[in-house]
Structure 1
Amino acid sequence: EQYYRCRFSYFLQYVLRIRPRRRAELSPLESGSLVHYILEHVMRRAGAEFPRLAPEELARLAGEVADQYVAENMPAAGRRFAYLVERLKRGVTRLLAYLQAEQAQSLFHPAAFEQEIGTGEGAVPPLTLRTPEGRTVQVQGKIDRVDVMEREGRTYLRVVDYKTGNKAFSLDEVYCGLNTQMLLYLFTLRSNAAQVYKNPVAAGVLYLAGDPVLKTGSRAEAAAAPVYKVDGLVLNDELVVRGMDRDATGMFVPFAFGKDGAPRASAKLASLEKLGNIEKHLDALVVEMARGLYAGEIDAVPLRTAAHCPCDVCDYRPVCLHEDGRGETSVQAPKDVFETRADACKAQGEGNI
């Protein structure tokens, strides 16, 4: 993703491994790490009992885990830092309550946390591809959470990622190399983890905003429980859809349901054939990236999305001296990207694409 966002930024960060100095503070980056840590360790400690924990027990566990993280990573933090951590604890406890509700009704349940994709002990073998020139490229990483549903002799796999801030999933961006990480992990699990998961099937990827941005409103509205937004891509299969959202509420999946309880046509639903098209395209992007790196293609050509330009938050802007509006590209993808002819005809027949 970083390579396709800006090749020069990728080169500095992952090849030269240049890192900016950071202050010991609860920055958005550090807040995200702490949220991930709390969610993982609370759910790991609670295990199968997680959906049934009482609210006070949930808050106690979240507090213990947060304090452990701070003691190990920022022992000399001051009063303001302590206040921000306490506020973050309350927010994460609300998020954990939402996850309890989701788990209580779901047929998907966590099977792994921080799952390594690589070559180490306990890791799932990485995606491995070859360029036309015969060079090998591997994609390694770590998955926040892997959920499974076992039905009819198959293991349906779901990859879940927690995001701090807004995360909009777009297949147009996937086409250009963004939003690809979780999909690459999902397809790698499906292909390389058969020894762990019997007859694996790719069921989808979900992004959950861990700190939803509140809209302007009254104090009472601000005090109410936040509405957590789910985004991503789900296999268009009734067994999978109902496995994720049993009562068709739309609270736990990235699409809505009609009055008849059936999912409304959505770009967030994908047939197996569409998922196959996406996988082939991602493989091609990985090979193209490898060829570009071997060829020394590391020019600063940022990819601008509808939301922003990556230069706006780039640590390396003082190095490349990028000028806004020059040497930039934008997200462009074919209409109905990744759709098959059969999918398009079906959607038109339903009168709603």
Structure 2
Amino acid sequence: MMAKFKAEGNLENANRNISAYNAFINLMDTAVEVLQNKKYSVSQYADFIESGITGYESGSVPPAIEQVNVGNVQRSMIHKVKAVFLLGANEGKFPGISLDEGLLSDNDRGILQSCNIELAPDTLTHTFETKFLTYKTLCLPSEKLFISCPSMDMRGGTLRSAYIFTVLKKLFTSLTVEGMVTGVKKPFDEYIGTPESTFQELIRLMASSKDTPVQPGWVAVKRWFEGNKQWSDRIRLLYKAFHIHVPSEPMNEQLAGELFGQPLTGSVSAFEAYTNCPFAYFLQYGIKARERKIAQITPLGIGSVSHTVLEMFFHRIKENNLDYNDISEEYMNRCVLEEMKRAASSFWGKNILDSKRNEYLLNRYGNTLGLTVKTLVRHIIGGEFRPINQEVIFGGKSSLKPVSETSEHNRAIISGKIDRLDVFKEGDTSYIRIIDYKTGSKALSMEDFYYGLQLQLPVYMKAIMENQDFFKRLFHTNEIVPAGILYYNIDDPIVKTNYTATSAEIERLVAKQLMLKGLVLDREPVIKAMDKNFTDQSDIIKVKKN
């Protein structure tokens, strides 16, 4: 029979017969073990066989056109489907977050892969693969695509939806996002689970239906929480929270004056923060909310440590009265290493170097700061401007007065700290150059300056000019002239070149990536004071001759 079904191509019936045959053989083996050599009547033996056959079940895939496949986005191989239900599309979950570089940087991986060493994908490849996977998943269905995500976790914390919601709404403007509050409601008993999950559902219900009567079932749930010793305090706090009235009126002038001070005093960064987001300004500079400090290396900490290392390096040069032309590369590397360890221990604590990972990260960033110091010294040697001071403070307790801005009824006092102040003297005139160090990519944008998003360097120069009497006495000069406001991006850039490039050619390409960027005075003597070798183009400042 089985051979006949196979010959006819009826594999389904053939498999059923094979399964039935195997089940019958197993039943006979069981009969031998159970019945042994005892004698039974025909009816008793028939009952035994019937009982065994009745309990037999054969599993097979239902021969239906419609079916549901459940799988993981990363591993499922699904094709030609009518509808896809994408669950859990939250930020960081779909698409997944980018991986950290880990012990090996992307540059390290590139070098090892060029030596035919097989490694896991780098962060760039992982990003591309994630984007492709997202595109592939969204394009799977031929008719319908449903995407959903939870808005809260089991503890009531907020969960953000994935960026694909924003992308799809831009592509298809008629799309709307439906929530549980506005969508179809589930039966009451489907909301009841563990005490924690039920409590979170109760919070959502109370938040969405303050003015509507609560279902009788939820009244019973409330009574249960009220009568339970472990939950009674939490339910009372919940009731209290929903009866707090939060005024929607803006903060009045008197309260703002008490909170922020009168006259208003702050740094340039603070006023830039207000322009970007008034609420963020309120949190940071009003109620002074701070994240809990964790002893781990962060970009913010790296920025602070970098400024300290550069400040102390130039302080050493000035204190020891050294000539920049006589400083060796070995001396620069030693200074950076010593100051890096000192600054890191001061900022993160002495135990920060106990971790091999932290030690590696700091050594790696120390190499970047070593390149930074060598580049800055090259800039100084290549021109006539010389650093006068580091971390120049104006406002507050400094002898330099702050920048003051007055409106009809209010007055703002702006203080700040200038990373580096350079001067070039020509006769009775002193030209001032301000340099600000940035650990990220930064360029001066006149548009951002116009809208108040990038005030730092212009305000710094204004502070110098408002204190020019002080600087005239300091430089023994009759005139102070602004010469430039410039950014230096602290970086160890990767440049594209071919395998035949020499070390000198690579260094020139790196130098072009590390030029000072910003605004300079349009006077050729001033530009040549920044770059002695300037003809048509400069390798120190990003300018060229028209």
State the alpha-carbon separation in 1 of the partners of residues 300 and 454 from structure 2.
18
Equivalent pair of 1:157/1:190 in contact (CA under 8 Å) = no
Structure with greater proportional helix content: 2
User: What is the CA deviation profile of residues 278-319 of structure 1, one whole-angstrom value per residue up to 9, with x for unaligned ones?
Assistant: xxxxxxxxxxxxxxxxxxxxxxxxxxxxxxxxxxxxxxxxxx
Runs (5+) with no aligned partner, structure 1: 257-262, 265-353
What is the correspondence of 1:244-323 to structure 2 with a 5 Å cutoff?
Answer: 244-248=530-534, 249-256=537-544, 263-264=545-546
State the alpha-carbon separation in 1 of the partners of residues 313 and 414 from structure 2.
29
- Whether 1:205 aligns to 2:491 is no
User: What is the CA deviation profile of residues 93-149 of structure 1, one whole-angstrom value per residue up to 9, with x for unaligned ones?
Assistant: 11111111111121111111111111314x31111122112x221110111011111
TM-score by length of 1: 0.68
TM superposition shift of 1:193:
3.2
- Whether 1:189 aligns to 2:469 is no
- Match of 1:231? 517
Equivalent pair of 1:187/1:202 in contact (CA under 8 Å) = no
Go from structure 1 to structure 2 and tell me whether the alpha carbon gap of 1:220 and 1:81 turns closer, same or farther (over 3 Å shift). Answer: farther
Paired residues, what number?
255
TM superposition shift of 1:35:
1.4
Q: Which amino acid aligns with 1:66?
A: M
- Match of 2:415? 140
State the alpha-carbon separation in 2 of the partners of residues 219 and 92 from structure 1.
26
Bigger Cα Rg: 2
State the alpha-carbon separation in 1 of the partners of residues 371 and 304 from structure 2.
17
TM superposition shift of 1:231:
1.3
Match of 1:21 among 278, 292, 316: 292
Go from structure 1 to structure 2 and tell me whether the alpha carbon gap of 1:15 and 1:51 turns closer, same or farther (over 3 Å shift). Answer: farther
Match of 1:151 among 416, 419, 426: 426
TM superposition shift of 1:196:
2.3
Equivalent pair of 1:43/1:50 in contact (CA under 8 Å) = no
Report the RMSD for the aligned CA atoms in angstroms: 2.1
Match of 1:82 among 325, 342, 359: 359
Equivalent pair of 2:404/2:413 in contact (CA under 8 Å) = yes
TM-score by length of 2: 0.44
User: What is the CA deviation profile of residues 303-346 of structure 1, one whole-angstrom value per residue up to 9, with x for unaligned ones?
Assistant: xxxxxxxxxxxxxxxxxxxxxxxxxxxxxxxxxxxxxxxxxxxx
TM superposition shift of 1:219:
9.1
State the alpha-carbon separation in 1 of the partners of residues 275 and 498 from structure 2.
41
State the alpha-carbon separation in 2 of the partners of residues 12 and 213 from structure 1.
35
- Whether 1:242 aligns to 2:528 is yes
User: What is the CA deviation profile of residues 234-277 of structure 1, one whole-angstrom value per residue up to 9, with x for unaligned ones?
Assistant: 11112211111121152221222xxxxxx23xxxxxxxxxxxxx
- Match of 1:292? none
User: What is the CA deviation profile of residues 45-81 of structure 1, one whole-angstrom value per residue up to 9, with x for unaligned ones?
Assistant: 0124234211111111111111111232321111111
Match of 2:328 among 45, 54, 79: 54
TM superposition shift of 1:159:
0.8
Equivalent pair of 1:231/1:254 in contact (CA under 8 Å) = yes
State the alpha-carbon separation in 1 of the partners of residues 514 and 332 from structure 2.
18
- Whether 1:44 aligns to 2:312 is no
TM superposition shift of 1:23:
2.2
User: What is the CA deviation profile of residues 197-246 of structure 1, one whole-angstrom value per residue up to 9, with x for unaligned ones?
Assistant: 3321111101011115535778998x954331421111111221111112
State the alpha-carbon separation in 1 of the partners of residues 457 and 332 from structure 2.
28
TM superposition shift of 1:90:
1.3
- Match of 1:30? 301
TM superposition shift of 1:22:
3.6
- Match of 1:180? 455
Equivalent pair of 1:145/1:160 in contact (CA under 8 Å) = yes
SS of residue matched to 2:519: strand
Runs (5+) with no aligned partner, structure 2: 1-271
Match of 1:106 among 367, 383, 406: 383
Q: Which amino acid aligns with 1:75?
A: K
- Match of 2:151? none
State the alpha-carbon separation in 2 of the partners of residues 239 and 217 from structure 1.
34
Equivalent pair of 2:390/2:421 in contact (CA under 8 Å) = yes
- Whether 1:71 aligns to 2:348 is no
Match of 1:12 among 275, 280, 283: 283
SS of residue matched to 1:194: helix
Fraction of identical pairs, as percent? 27
More displaced 10-residue stretch of structure 1: 200-209 or 226-235: 226-235
State the alpha-carbon separation in 1 of the partners of residues 514 and 499 from structure 2.
19
State the alpha-carbon separation in 1 of the partners of residues 299 and 499 from structure 2.
24
The structure with higher relative contact order (CA 8 Å, sep 6+) is 1
